[in-house]
Amino acid sequence: MIKLMHLADLHQGWEPKYLPDDKKSIRRRERDQLLQKAVDYVLAPGNGIQGILIVGDLFEKYKPEDALVRETMRQLSRLTAQGMLVVTIPGNHDEITYRESVYRTQGTAWPGILVTNPMPEHCLSHTLEGTTVHIYSLAYTGGLTKTAALDDFPCLAEPGFHIGAFHGSLDWEGLGDRSLSLNSARLSSAGYHYIALGHYHQFSSKAIGSSLAVYPGAVEFKSFSDSGAGHFTIVCWDGSQVTLEKPPVALRPWQSLTLDVSLVENYQALKTRCLSCADPGIMLQLTLTGTPRFHIQEEQLLEDLAGAFFYLELSNAARYFSDSFLDAVSGEPTIRGLFTRRIRERLAATSDERERKVLEQALLQGLAALEGDVG
Ligand SMILES: [Mn+2]
């Protein structure tokens, strides 16, 4: 059984600009430790892995700072020192095009195999546990990679495990994505067993022809809209079939929560409610919805909650109708005016506290719905 870790899009050196300086450097350090976690996982004897494929965007920039380059090479050398297969493919962030690109300045010192050919080529054949792994790849190089004519994907007619490894956008039809465009029909005609992709940050796997094409995704979290896969991707080849393993990785916890604040009495109660999920280690995305009876001061709430979380992203989608707004609406010769008058009449007629609350919410939610805000 051949088992290789398939990594891409680590974007080492990236910093979350939305964090204050102290936390920014904590998060950067955490993110940059992912490679070490990957190497530890590959080296753990019980995992039975023989190598690693890094399919682009290992770094955020093509010229990362020296300390980061040194540490990255030191980690990869831990693998090569054990005879592991290490293949690194430049991406579009760490593009090889530039004279000062890390892959040009380090060149031959780079641990393992560094892909530098600008058009698809057979890059290496390497025997692992009696089976030969054949890898085909390219390093996107401005001016040399003929992106429009990328239809000739070579594949040797030899026994073994054939892997195409490319950093680019599979079947992307939009505009403005500065990356290598890959066509699944052309790729599948090469007949690779496995197509190791990079560039998209979400995990995905798809059968194209007889190949399995996989984006391992960025494992680490960047933001709530780019939250990472949270697991490594291990490709396994038993001589006839490709299967995947997706071991989870221990990362800083994050969560997206939606809180309906319609029945929350006042600001103090809202604060207490939010603080009930306090955790100084977590990154929390909190969305407030509903129709509260009070106006939510977002800046104040953020300030009051800031210390309770590692990072809090607050979005207020709650709809507040002030009393003066309701007064104005109830005088309108409109559907919402009629609706408001009817409910207010019933409110005036009831002395039942429960009914009053129901009517109040019916009024507020009805008005929100009439605004097209169906909650
Ligand atoms: Mn990319």
220 Cα–ligand 1 center, Å: 15
Please give the distance, rounded to the nearest whole angstrom, from the Cα atom of residue 58 to the centre of ligand 1.
Answer: 9
Tell me how far the alpha carbon of residue 53 lies from the centroid of ligand 1, in angstroms: 15
Residue with tokens 């940050």: 201
Bridge partners (DSSP) of residue 196 are: 165, 214
367 token code pair: 């008005």
Q: Dump pLDDT digits (tens) for 318-347.
A: 999 999 999 999 999 999 999 999 999 999
What's the CA-to-centroid distance between 197 and ligand 1, angstroms? Answer: 10
Q: How far is the CA of 155 from the centre of ligand 1 (A)?
A: 24
- The set of long-range contacts for 174-177, using a CB threshold of 8 Å and a minimum separation of 24, is none
Cα–ligand 1 centroid distance for 180 (angstroms): 9
Per-residue pLDDT at 375: 46
Query: Exposed, middle or buried, 324 (CB in 10 Å: 0-12/13-18/19+)?
Result: exposed
106 alpha carbon – ligand 1 mean position (Å):
21
Q: What dotted CATH number matches 2-245?
A: 3.60.21.10
Based on DSSP, count helices (H) and strands (E) in the chain, helices before strands: 10, 17
Residue (of 349, 346, 348) closest to 362 by Cα position: 346
Whole-number Å distance, alpha carbon 95 to ligand 1 midpoint, is 9
Domain boundaries, the chain: 2-245, 254-316, 323-370
CB 24 within 8 A of CB 15: yes
Alpha-carbon span 229 to 306, nearest angstrom? 27
3-state SS, residue 101: coil
Ligand 1 midpoint to CA 9 (Å): 6
DSSP, collapsed to helix, strand or coil, labels residue 49 as coil
The pLDDT of residue 152: 85
Cα 349 to middle of ligand 1, angstroms? 64
Tell me the C-alpha to C-alpha distance, in Å, between residue 128 and each of 60, 211, 240: 31, 21, 15
Q: Point out which residues pair with 87 in neighbouring strands.
A: 53, 113
CA distance 176 to 165: 23
CA distance 366 to 28: 46
Identify the pLDDT of residue 58. Answer: 98
Percent of the chain past pLDDT 90, that is, above it, reads 91
Q: What pLDDT score does 177 carry?
A: 60
Cα-based distances in Å from 348 to 40, 58, 292, 322, 341: 69, 66, 20, 18, 10
What pLDDT shows up at residue 142?
87
Of 53, 64, 52, the C-alpha closest to 94 is 64
Residue 168 Cα to ligand 1 midpoint, Å, equals: 7
**CA 313/CA 255 separation, integer angstroms:** 10
Ligand 1 centroid distance, CA of 13 (Å): 14
DSSP states along 277-312? T-EEEEEEEEEEES--SS---HHHHHHHHGGGEEEE
> What's the CA gap between 240 and 162, in Å, rounded?
11
Q: From ligand 1's centre to the CA of 123, what distance in Å?
A: 21
Q: Which two tokens stand for residue 342?
A: 């009817």
In this prediction, residue 178 carries a pLDDT of 66
Between the CA of residue 259 and those of 226, 318, 373, what are the distances in Å? Answer: 22, 9, 16
Q: How far is the CA of 177 from the centre of ligand 1 (A)?
A: 9
7 CA distance to ligand 1 middle (Å): 12
CA distances from 242 to 1, 20, 190 (A): 10, 44, 16
How far apart are the C-alpha atoms of 312 and 331, rounded to whole Å?
41
Place of tokens 């280690």: 281
Provide the residue count of the chain: 375
Query: Nearest Cα to 184, choosing from 233, 216, 155, 150?
Result: 150
**Identity of the residue numbered 51:** G
3-state secondary structure at position 39: helix
Ligand 1 geometric centre to CA of 200 (Å): 7
pLDDT digits (tens), the chain, 375 positions:
999 999 999 999 999 999 999 999 999 999 999 999 999 999 999 999 999 999 999 999 999 999 999 999 999 999 999 999 999 999 999 999 999 999 999 989 999 999 999 999 999 999 998 999 999 999 999 889 877 657 789 999 999 999 999 999 998 877 666 678 899 999 999 999 999 999 999 999 999 999 999 999 999 999 999 999 999 999 999 999 999 999 999 999 999 999 999 999 999 999 999 999 999 999 999 999 999 999 999 999 999 998 999 999 999 999 999 999 999 999 999 999 999 999 999 999 999 999 999 999 999 999 999 987 554
pLDDT in tens, 260-280: 999 999 999 999 999 999 999
d(CA 295, CA 324): 13
Q: 371 CA distance to ligand 1 centroid (A)? A: 41
Q: If you measure from the C-alpha of residue 319 to the centroid of ligand 1, how many angstroms do you get, rounded to a whole number? A: 39
pLDDT at 176: 60
